[in-house]
Structure 1
């Protein structure tokens, strides 16, 4: 790995970026890989930068080109769910938006919010907060697994557990709002 130099972070960045812009590709593994190959700090920086730029691009693409482009990227199966969720709940609820951006469907959420009337000024802080909360535990998991750091691994597991609780609360809140 050391012989590859700067190609490792660039490669991980491109993989993660692509997995967010094209939501059919799984991206969580790249966070774990980033932590394992680059260490916690550098790995977190690469993943956070990739998420910030790719989510911003997804929001902007859907805002500029509309539903037709989003439907091509996410598929017809998800477009109606994204539309309903975004317009009914996320557009007007900053905390729910932030919570949904911390789930495994954050890439879809970015496209969906771009289709609503939610402003960039509302979306950007929610995105930054969600990245700051949800990425460290997963990158730390990768760093702990491959570096043997038991404390880091323990903190990562606690972080993932906390994210699971937050996700459950957000989903329960969302289902309560739909009823």
Structure 2
């Protein structure tokens, strides 16, 4: 068992490094796109560009959001902000919530199906060791789950994996997600967008 754990960690390290490097590259690319697209100065132009792709664009973004939850490359709030910027508050928020919901269900099921080996695969060893102890804490873990969904700073995707390792039912997991995640996701998406808009307007006034 100890040999298996060492093997998992051995193969986990290059995956974590690769996703971290890819995440940095994507962040730079997203920042460059936001600056060059003229989103804050001419958001209608960006909306028109997205509309040219038709129904493919929202479906592609939904797929990317799903993959991002299962294989975390970017911080979750980055992709949600991009979604609202590209598709507007209504459709963008819906795509964010739906993609994250499907991805979280996948994480829950994958952890329940494949166990702790899978749960440790895409996170750093320190993160795994820090949170895995919550698995057997019953009601305390349930409180921890909804707290992690409401407040920022928690590795939500990995905690959904932990939920799959616990004795929590799928029905209860869905209940906590739908109760906590949509409202907080909406709030934590709009605050950065309006914050960036404020900073852009402030620098433009100089």
TM > 0.5 between the two?
yes
Structure 1 residues 145-164: aligned runs within 5 Å: none
Secondary structure, counterpart of 1:110 in structure 2? helix
1:82 aligns with 2:153: no
TM-score, scaled relative to structure 2:
0.63
**Deviations for 1:47-98, whole angstroms, at most 9, x for unmatched residues?**
010011000000010011101111123243322222113333xx31434321
User: What residue is the counterpart of 1:167 in the other structure?
Assistant: none
TM-score, scaled relative to structure 1:
0.71
User: What residue is the counterpart of 2:158 in the other structure?
Assistant: 108
Root-mean-square deviation (Å): 2.3
Alignment size in residue pairs:
146
My pick for the range that moved more, 49-58 or 64-73, is 64-73
**Deviations for 1:98-147, whole angstroms, at most 9, x for unmatched residues?**
1112334110110011111111122111111122221112343476579x
**Deviations for 1:130-175, whole angstroms, at most 9, x for unmatched residues?**
22221112343476579x7x9xxxxxxxxxxxxxxxxxxxxxxxxx
Deviation at 1:6, TM superposition (A): 1.9
Aligned counterpart for 1:140 among listed residues 190, 195, 206: 190
Query: Residue 17 of structure 1 contacts residue 54 of structure 1 at CA under 8 Å; is this kept in 2?
Result: yes
Cα distance in 1 for residues equivalent to 2:120 and 2:144: 23
User: What residue is the counterpart of 2:67 in the other structure?
Assistant: 18
Highest CA radius of gyration, 1 or 2?
2
Query: Residue 77 of structure 2 contacts residue 189 of structure 2 at CA under 8 Å; is this kept in 1?
Result: no
Cα 1:110–1:9 change in 2 (3 A) is: same
My pick for the range that moved more, 97-106 or 116-125, is 97-106
Secondary structure, counterpart of 1:68 in structure 2? helix
Query: Residue 37 of structure 1 contacts residue 143 of structure 1 at CA under 8 Å; is this kept in 2?
Result: no
Instruction: Identify unmatched segments of 5+ residues in structure 2.
Output: 1-48, 199-206
Instruction: Identify unmatched segments of 5+ residues in structure 1.
Output: 151-179
